[in-house]
Amino acid sequence: MTDKYPGLSSYTDRHGKVRWRYRTKERVVSLPAPNQPGFKEAYQAAVEGRKAPKALVVRMPGAALPGTFGAATQRLKVSVKWLAHDEATRRKNTRLIDEFLDLRVVPD
């Protein structure tokens, strides 16, 4: 594998995971594994001395990270217990939840 890609080497990190890198006298660049998508582009960028392009991050409106209060709110609003509440109760509780979610954890 290293014959096909000069400068490419692997090592085992302190957690026991095999990691790949491109090394020259001037720099060391971390790379995805040779069998991973994007390896060839990242390797070529490392050889040419430029940074590999990062993936585009697309914000999803209404999305919430797993394990957050936002995710819990989304799960709550589709639960049977929530839907069993009266419309006025759901409206009031939704307002309270939204106020809580809009609070700043650390003041500016």
pLDDT digits (tens, 9 = 90+) for 38-94: 889 899 999 998 887 777 888 888 888 899 999 999 999 999 999 999 999 999 999
pTM of the model: 0.50
Structural contact between residues 31 and 46, judged by C-beta atoms closer than 8 angstroms:
yes
Structural contact between residues 39 and 74, judged by C-beta atoms closer than 8 angstroms:
no
Structural contact between residues 65 and 71, judged by C-beta atoms closer than 8 angstroms:
yes
Which residues are CB-contacts of 21 (< 8 A; sequence separation ≥ 6)? 8, 9, 10, 11, 28, 29, 30, 31
